[in-house]
Structure 1
Amino acid sequence: RECLNMKDANEQQDQEFCRSRLKIIRNYVTLQEKQWVADLEFKREFSTRDYNFLKEKSDRKYMLEKEGMDWQMLLEQKRQEQETSMKQQEVRTSFVQSLLNSGKTPKEVATYMRLPYG
């Protein structure tokens, strides 16, 4: 605006330059406003159209994570059962070994432990 208020006639060219600059700036601002409006309309359309898709996707992800946790718990339970079974087997084996070391025959140990023999 200062540019347009020049009063000296020798600065006519500067005034013309300022007017052309101002016109370019106004056009740019108008284009920028149109772009903002287009962006807002796109975002509004995107949010209303794809909200259900994104919600469904997040629900599906939650279900998979929950199912994954269920599987994880099941695997942990199986691992603990296997570990317990192995410990019981070790105890049983060491007990049988101690019976054999104490002079019992394999048949007596099998009878005592209720294991099939032969």
Structure 2
Amino acid sequence: MPGFVVLQHDHPQSLHWDFMLEFDNHLFTWSLPLPPCYNHLLPATALPGHRKEYLDYEGPVSKGRGRVARWDRGRFELLIREENLLEVNLCGEKLAGRLRIERATASDDQWRWLLTPR
């Protein structure tokens, strides 16, 4: 199964959590304003794909963009992959359940992130 990671990103502009799903040779990535939790709809901002090295990386981020620390990691099973919707089953050290990530509007980088427990 492919991997996922949640990195707490202490960025100079704001503390946030980067949620990353492994697809092919890169990581689909969203920025969350709060730590992931169950049954709480979170806004998620899509970011450019990240290198797979971030599955295992902790430490400083280049160009003065702060530091990242692993908050959770694990594996996922892909259930639905469409242009505006992803559904996966997460099996992590902290998070386990069904995650739905849905584009908020068809033309921008804003998504909605919702995790329900098993």
Asked if TM exceeds 0.5, the reply is no
TM-score (norm 1): 0.15
When Rg is computed on C-alpha atoms for both structures, the one with the higher figure is 1
Bigger relative CO (Cα 8 Å, ≥ 6 apart)? 2
Point out the structure with the larger strand share.
Answer: 2
